[in-house]
A and B are shown apart, each in its own frame.
Chain A
Amino acid sequence: MAATRALTIPDVYDRFVKGKKVSVEEWDYKITPGNLTALKEKYNIKFEPDQIVPEDKDLCNRLFQAGLEMLVTTGYYNQDLGRVMHVTEEEVWEGIRKTPTKLEFGENKDKARFYPRHGNSNVKPVIQGGPTGSPISEDVFVQVMQSYAQEGIVDTIVNGVMTTIEGHPAKTKTPYEIRATMAELRAVKEARVRAARPGMGV
Chain B
Amino acid sequence: MDMSGLNMLAGWHGAGDIIMIEQMPIMGGYTGGPEETAICDVAATIASFALFNCDIHLDGPIHIRWGTTTTRETLQVAAHTAMALDYNTDLLLGNQYYTLAGPCTEMCLLETAAQALVDTASGRELLSGVASSKGTVQDKTTPMEARIMGEASMAACGMSIPEINRIVDNIVSRYEGNYLHPPTGKRFQECYNIHDLVPSDEYLETYDSALRILSDCGIDF
Contact = CB atoms under 8 A, between A and B. Distances in A.
A183 interface: no
A109 interface: no
Contacts of B153: 124-125, 127
Contacts of A143: 188, 192, 194, 197
B49 A96 contact: yes
Nearest to B37: A36
Q: Which of A47, A101, A136 has the most CB of B within 10 A?
A: A47
B219 interface: no
**Count class of interface residues, chain A:** 35 or more
B189 A12 contact: no
B79 A9 contact: no
Q: Which of A46, A52, A147, A158 has the most CB of B within 10 A?
A: A52
Which secondary structure dominates chain A's binding surface?
mixed
A125 B126 contact: yes
A66 B88 CA distance: 13
B106 interface: no
A32 B150 contact: no
Contacts of A1: none
A68 B46 contact: yes
8 contacts: A9-B9, A47-B35, A51-B76, A64-B84, A81-B3, A94-B50, A99-B49, A133-B135
Given A6-B50, A39-B39, A71-B47, 20 more contacts: A9-B9, A9-B52, A12-B52, A37-B32, A37-B36, A47-B76, A51-B165, A52-B72, A55-B162, A57-B87, A64-B88, A79-B2, A80-B3, A96-B50, A103-B55, A118-B86, A125-B119, A137-B138, A140-B189, A154-B150
Interface of A: 6-10, 12-13, 16, 28-29, 32-33, 36-37, 39-40, 45-47, 50-55, 57, 59-61, 63-64, 66-68, 70-71, 74, 76-81, 85, 87, 91-96, 98-101, 103, 105, 114-137, 140, 143-144, 146-148, 150-151, 153-154, 158, 160, 163
